[in-house]
Amino acid sequence: MSIYDSLNDMQQKAVYQTEGPLLILAGAGSGKTRVLTHRIAYLMEEKGVNPWNIMAITFTNKAAKEMRERVDQLIGYGSESVWVSTFHSTCVRILRRFIDRLGYDNNFTIYDTDDQKTVMKEVCKRLDVDTKIYKEKNLLGQISKAKNEMISAEEFYANSASDFRQRKVAEVYMEYEKRMRANNALDFDDLLLKTVQLLENDEQVLAYYQDRFLYIMVDEYQDTNTVQFKFVSLLARKNRNLCVVGDDDQSIYKFRGANIRNIWDFEKTYEEAVVIKLEQNYRSTQNILDAANSVIAKNTERKEKRLWTENGKGELIDFHHFDNGYEEAEYVAYDISKKVRKGQRRYKDCAILYRTNAQSRMFEERFIAENIPYKIVGGVNFYGRKEIKDILAYLKTIDNGRDDVAVKRIINVPKRGIGLASLSKVQDYADGRGIGFYDALKEAEEVPGLGRATAKITPFVTMIQKYRSKLGLVSLTDLLDEILEETGYVKELELEDTDEARARIENIDELISKLATYVEQEETPTLGEFLEEVALVADIDSLEEDSDYVVLMTLHSAKGLEFPNVYLAGMEDGLFPSFMTITSDDPMEIEEERRLCYVGITRAMEELHMSSARMRMVRGETQYNKISRFVREIPSDLFQHEIEKEKAKPEEKVGSYQVAKQAFRSKPMVGKQFTVTKAEKLSYVEGDKVNHRMFGIGQVLNITEGGRDYEVTVEFEKVGIKKMFASFAKLEKMS
């Protein structure tokens, strides 16, 4: 029996279609990884293609690892030569070899978000940018967006002549790039952008990789942005054997720069393209799929497909409409505990998915109270912890002395008594000489006015130079041990003797284990490659499938995962979809939110629970929201219970809201004080139509006069019922 006989008809068709452009529209849970791996096997075994002539690209390390393992199992000998990698890892491999042609050293450093923020702070300080007006995070966001659209700093500057604010952003972009180059560093956007620039500007390099990769496969194609599309199209331009796999119904990363038109317009870009749909689902029950199909069908722009399965109907969807968020969290905790207690589920079978990170708090509180083990995916990345970043900064400085961010991070870690004034003098000297910060440290004796600080800087430089001289002579694990011993980093934590310090030591131990594993697995381990490997780790890669805990994560983080028992929490208009989406003039905004809901539903394999709350505290404001329109787009016969009809006005009952309201009226406010000027009379009365600057048009349901202010209840057309204080709401009566 052939390995291809286990595939369904459409999967076989996708495997056998090897020549020319191919678009595989793969619905959720339809076995796309299985198709890709069998396609690689078919190319090698049946078509005689060399493994090194095949490239498979995906987005996450987790997906790349899974694909690599499956290819190895299918093919065995020779499979290690197939290039299976993420976009970023692929680009790093190319740049490590050829980036010197763009004027960089090949041992460049990869900056994470924190490193970028450090550079941006220096840029804003140097350019005297008012960070109250131009937020550093927003500046980095605009630069990232420009890079994803392949707009260089020079082009950005040239296009900003008529806009004062954009000209300021352009100046920041120019200085940011200048400092990144001086530090011999690249951010994550650069990895793709510089690779495309290399391929566009160097015909020799482009020809080398076009001849190397005769067959190219791209997973999750709906998530590609402009620069990723350009990268793939350049590599495939000569041979045109490009197979892309994706699902436009799961395109949810517009905020990261993903361009859904890449998959929508594939047949326009490649007119000879073949399109194959994978609609048979192997993950979920038919009831879950029917719910997903009914929701996504409401989108007007999509490539038509409908998921089906042979798994059977399964259980109906469990929906609960609670009074508040506390009851919602209480029920979920109770339901999980009951299922585990009865042996029906393990903790790791359960996942709670929500629209915003803030929603995790109530679940955490309940899980702690109920002693339920849990993990939040998307919290602090292991490599983002202070102690890990400190140790990695030592390694980065040893590997690449031009990395000013790393050098400045550790110059006083542990404390060496080198003051800010001294460091400022070193920086001024470096700027004046046109050299890097570390090179200026090496010339400390020449820095004007440095004085006694020279004696503190010299031992630091000597230590770094000593470790540099040992590269290639001692093992990387021995090198790290020496650094920890000489700096006394761990000893300082031991002297603190606190739970936090002990946790930090455990993290350092984990880093040592990570380095040891890397050294064991690589034939010729290098410090640069190790730093590259840890720089490309994403949050989702920290999800340990063998550990028994409930997973809490946002819907965006859940893509690509599956769980037997899923809870979709906060299914309310105003929260999911968000009120910003509901009030947007762009209909495509609500369509992306609907795709996000589709992704959430299709994470469930056997059980799907959905919940909402009549009343929820958001940013300190009590909100009454309607049940999410996405819930109401699911046919009623798919639910275990009939969904109640919305009430025009919420029932007044004693609860957490009433307690909070009474506290507001009777107790003095603590903490941040607000000056409230109570109006003698409001310009509107109950029943009037009013306008709110954020929520839009609504009708006043109730006005209650308190000692400090008027409390106004309004039912808005787009975001539901809100309770607010008149002084803050600033409602305008509609004529």
pLDDT digits (tens, 9 = 90+) for 339-388: 999 999 999 999 999 998 778 888 888 888 888 998 888 655 667 788 98
Q: What pLDDT is attached to residue 181? A: 93
- pLDDT per residue as tens digits for the range 638-662: 999 887 765 544 443 333 334 334 4
- Structure-derived torsion over alpha carbons of residues 326, 332, 337, 338, reported in degrees to the nearest 10: 120
DSSP conformation class of 671: S
pLDDT at 319 over 80: yes
Contacts of 726 (CB under 8 A, 6+ apart): 678, 679, 682, 709, 710, 711, 712
Cα dihedral across residues 540, 545, 547, 553: positive or negative: positive
pLDDT at 93 over 70: yes
Residue 710, SS3? strand
pLDDT at 675 over 60: no
Q: What pLDDT is attached to residue 546? A: 66
**Burial call 175-191: b when 16+ CB within 10 Å, e when fewer:** bbbebbbbbbbbbbbbb
Q: What pLDDT is attached to residue 666? A: 37
pTM over the 0.85 mark: no
Q: What pLDDT is attached to residue 660? A: 37
Q: What pLDDT is attached to residue 60? A: 81
Q: What pLDDT is attached to residue 120? A: 94
Please measure the distance between the N-terminal and C-terminal CA atoms of the chain and give it in whole angstroms.
77
- pLDDT per residue as tens digits for the range 525-538: 889 888 888 887 65
Ramachandran angles phi, psi of 702, nearest 5°: -155, 145
Cα dihedral across residues 254, 256, 257, 260: positive or negative: negative
* Angle of CA points 30, 629, 310, to nearest 5°: 25
Q: Encoding tokens for residue 270?
A: 């490649």
Residue 10, SS3? helix
Active-site residues, by number, are 32-33, 219-220, 250, 603
Q: What is the DSSP string of 27-59?
A: -TTS-HHHHHHHHHHHHHHTS---GGGEEEEES
Beta-carbon count within 10 A of 486 CB: 11
- pLDDT per residue as tens digits for the range 453-480: 899 999 999 999 999 999 888 889 999 9
Q: What pLDDT is attached to residue 502? A: 80
C-beta separation of 710 from 678 below 8 A: yes
